[in-house]
């Protein structure tokens, strides 16, 4: 396992319980994110959807509540253990977005909600190629991220627990360009809270149709 992946897994194993407790009701205060998830549910249709980097599973469960056949994948075993306890009716599994074990063309949607922020630039093309491989023709992928141009090192968080993860901020234009390079078509670029110190962004893209 690459060092940045190992440190990401260890960091989120360490903060899993605190992270889950602090973010449990986060979507209640985020009407625009709920709207994006509702749109994703509509665009993805009836096929299965993979929530990649699902953490404690709150977003996966929200999608499930919208009638989506959603399941979660996360690098952190502790996050997955928490998600399974909290949402026993939803499928969760340990895995890495850098090496997805899903079958080719097996899902109608891939969600990466603030889960690619720790992926260095050099690894992003491989991650997006993996997304395209597992998506069905015309499958949908929303990517949520911190907007900016800086990379920072996070050494503690969620109650002061130690962490060691780099946070890569990207602009919507950069994320869209990366998706286009991977063969996706961009359908929407959304900027959230643009007056905040660190705005949020969501890019919604679609895989190509079948040849």
pLDDT tens, per residue, the chain with 211 residues: 899 999 999 999 999 999 998 888 889 999 999 999 999 999 999 899 999 999 999 999 999 999 999 999 999 999 999 999 999 999 999 999 999 999 999 999 999 999 999 999 999 999 999 999 999 999 999 999 999 999 999 999 898 899 999 999 999 999 999 999 999 999 999 999 999 999 999 999 999 998 6
Number of domains in the chain: 1
- The verdict on residue 159 lying in a domain is yes
Q: With a threshold of 0.85, does the pTM exceed it?
A: yes
Q: How far is residue 128's CA from residue 148's CA, in Å, rounded to a whole number? A: 20
The parent domain of residue 17 ranges over 3-206
- The verdict on residue 111 lying in a domain is yes
- The verdict on residue 140 lying in a domain is yes
CB within 8 A of 38, min separation 6: which ones? 66
- The verdict on residue 211 lying in a domain is no
Indicate which CATH number applies to the domain containing 59: 3.40.50.150
- Find the DSSP H helices in the chain: 3-23, 31-44, 58-65, 77-86, 124-134, 172-181
- The verdict on residue 178 lying in a domain is yes
């Amino acid at each position: 396992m690459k060092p940045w992946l190992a440190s990401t897994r260890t960091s989120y194993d360490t903060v899993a319980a605190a992270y889950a407790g602090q973010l449990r009701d986060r979507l209640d205060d985020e009407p625009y994110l709920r709207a994006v998830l509702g749109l994703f549910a509509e665009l993805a249709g009836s096929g299965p959807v993979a929530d990649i980097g699902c953490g404690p599973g709150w977003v996966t469960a929200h999608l499930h509540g919208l009638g989506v056949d959603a399941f979660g994948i996360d690098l952190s075993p502790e996050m997955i253990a928490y998600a399974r306890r909290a949402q026993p009716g939803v499928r969760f599994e340990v895995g890495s977005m850098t090496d997805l074990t899903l079958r080719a063309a097996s899902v109608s949607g891939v969600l990466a909600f603030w889960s690619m922020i720790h992926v260095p630039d050099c690894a992003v093309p491989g991650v997006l190629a993996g997304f395209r491989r597992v998506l069905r023709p015309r499958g949908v992928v929303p990517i949520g991220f911190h907007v900016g141009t800086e990379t920072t090192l996070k050494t503690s968080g969620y109650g002061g627990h130690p962490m060691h993860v780099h946070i890569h901020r990207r602009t919507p234009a950069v994320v869209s360009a990366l998706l286009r390079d991977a063969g996706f078509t961009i359908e929407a670029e959304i900027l959230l809270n643009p007056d905040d110190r660190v705005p949020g962004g969501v890019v919604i893209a679609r895989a190509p149709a079948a040849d």
